[in-house]
Amino acid sequence: MEALSILAQLIVAGVLTGLVFALVSVGLTLVYGVMDVVNFAHGEFLMLAMYVAVGLALIGIGPIVGLPLVVIALFLFGIVVYRVFVRRLLAGPPEATVFGTFGLLVLMQGLAQAIFTSDYRSAPNPPFQGTLHLGAFAIPQATLVEGIGAIVLTALLFAFVEFTETGRAMRAVAEDRVAATLMGIDVQRINALAFGIGAACVGAAGSLLLLSNPAYPTVGVQYALTAFVVVALGGFGSIQGALVGAVLIGLLEVLGGFYLSPELKLVPVYLAYLIVVLLRPQGLLGRR
């Protein structure tokens, strides 16, 4: 009976951990789905969002209240990065976007080190710092809020892509950009919107993650690495796949850390990833 109770607690913790990974991954998969671009600076966008949220918290606007402001700031930042930088990379060979976004990663980390130093910075008096007790389950409030935020964000993004005119234009560009151009769709505008929305998603993630994590220059690295595995496992370009892949990885990581050892917690994650890639290279819910 005690073993079952521990397993249930681990499953709850794994699902919530996976939802946090989903928060970071949905923007990455949207950008790839529309533009065929893997944004290696995605983690640094998350780092920037967390610093923006810290700045707002220092003037009295907490991470939850300030979330819409962070989302708008990152959306505008994403539009500018696309117009000034990524659009030019798309005119070159496919490798240009890989090396270009990796260079942006290095630049943003270096600027953060120079401006903010390597010190950890947290929001003063963040909300949701207690633990919610539901029978035998003990759930950190911050993790629960992050998980709910991930579900809401993923649902909104899915509804936007599936049921709006702009979302349908994004799907048309993702399927065949030449045909989309002939149909009168402004591909450059759609690309800019997709990049901006991808950055806005990671802006929401950064604001929510500040509830339980400090901001520092390399904070995005750990989340970005997991996000790449999540997107590959769930299927590049699939929003639902990112959610499914993230929850699966969260479960495997938590169960592996408990039943194997904390040092080996990522072994089941990468084994599952290799099996899926070998049997279904397009990912669990990928279309291509």
The residue to which tokens 């997107």 are assigned: 231
Q: What is the pLDDT of residues 208-220, one digit of tens each?
A: 999 988 999 999 9
Q: Determine how β-strand 131-134 pairs with β-strand 137-140.
A: antiparallel
Q: What is the pLDDT of residues 2-48, one digit of tens each?
A: 777 788 888 988 888 888 888 888 888 888 888 888 899 999 999 99
Q: Tell me how far CA of residue 46 lies from CA of 15, 75, 207, in angstroms.
A: 21, 12, 9
Q: Tell me how far CA of residue 19 lies from CA of 25, 31, 90, 217, in angstroms.
A: 10, 19, 32, 23
Whether the pTM exceeds 0.95: the reply is: no
* Residue 73 C-alpha from the chain's centroid: 16
DSSP letter string over 121-190? B--SS-S--SEEEETTEEEEHHHHHHHHHHHHHHHHHHHHHHHSHHHHHHHHHHH-HHHHHHTT--HHHH
